[in-house]
Amino acid sequence: MSLFPMFVKLAGRPCVVIGAGNIAESKIESLLLAEASVTVIAPEALPRVQAWANAGEIRWIAREYREGDLDGAFLCIAATATSSVNRAVFAEASERGVLCNAVDDPPFCDFYFPSVVRRGELQIAISTAGESPALAQRLRKEINAQLPQDAGEWLMELGRLRREVCAAEPIGNERKLLLHELAHREVCGLEQCPSRMRAKQHAREHGLTVGAEVTK
């Protein structure tokens, strides 16, 4: 089965995690990083999960899963150590049209958690569609070792410069070509950085304004 790769905005969306042990902890953390509204249902929880609940970062309902717990959820994660419970969660999710991931049980997943390399807003996600999480993790380590640590900061500066160019130049092939060129150049916050200088040169040539510079 072919998967559709995408990055989803979860900020403020209700997400339910069934389970609060070792299996669930990393999944809860990934949802928190995405600023989701997280409810955890489990009779017991690891200290870190309890700390999130005490800090108000998640809502923890200290009991076993019950049918109806997915009411209003956008997505859910079944992360208990009991496969029958996880599959019951998946069954309810399917009935309600809620996206579900039953951890380590690929046939009972609507989506998979990829291995991710992060540098700020830059994310590189690797999925094997549940066939070999170990391979995905190995590839993540290899990419992580090769990707510069400051790639996130570079992306932020490139994004600022892109917004300046887009505000100054109308949509068209010229703008597209320039943005691709800038993505291959060194960019930083300094006015003298190569990409920013190239953008200003382009603006002068076309009678445009980029950033604080007013062309004549």
> What is the tens place of the pLDDT at every residue in 55-74?
999 999 999 999 999 999 99
Give the CA distances from residue 126 to residues 97, 135, 170, in Å, rounded to whole numbers and listed in that order.
Answer: 26, 9, 35
Q: Which of 12-21, 63-72, 120-129, 180-189 has the lowest mean pLDDT?
A: 180-189
pLDDT at 214 over 70: no
Confidence label for 33 from pLDDT (cuts 50, 70 and 90): very high
- Please tell me which residue, 195 or 117, carries the higher pLDDT value: 117
Task: Name the band, by pLDDT with cuts 50, 70 and 90, for residue 117.
Answer: very high
pLDDT score of 215: 37
Is the per-residue pLDDT at 192 higher than 90?
A: no
Find the mean pLDDT for residues 190-211.
64
Other C-beta atoms lying within 10 Å of the C-beta of residue 209: 15
Amino acid at 26: S
Asked if residue 182 lies in contact with residue 195, where contact means CB atoms within 8 angstroms, the answer is: yes
Q: Is the pLDDT reported for residue 9 higher than 70?
A: yes
Report which residue type is found at 91. A
Task: Tell me the pLDDT band of 42, cut-offs 50, 70 and 90.
Answer: very high
Length of the chain equals: 216
CB environment 121-146: b (16+ within 10 A), e (fewer) = eeebbbbbebeebeebeebbeeeeee
pLDDT of residue 213: 46
Is the pTM higher than 0.75? The answer reads: no
Question: Cα 116 vs. chain centroid, distance in angstroms?
Answer: 8
How far does CA 39 lie from the centroid of its chain?
Answer: 19
- 122-126 and 115-119 as β-strands: parallel, antiparallel, unpaired? antiparallel
Average pLDDT over residues 151-158: 86
pLDDT surpasses 80 at 196: no
What confidence score (pLDDT) does residue 64 get? 97
Radius of gyration of the chain (CA): 23
Q: Which residue has the tokens 């049918």?
A: 67
pLDDT band at 44 (very low <50, low <70, confident <90, very high): very high
Degrees to nearest 5, angle at CA 22 with 18 and 23: 50
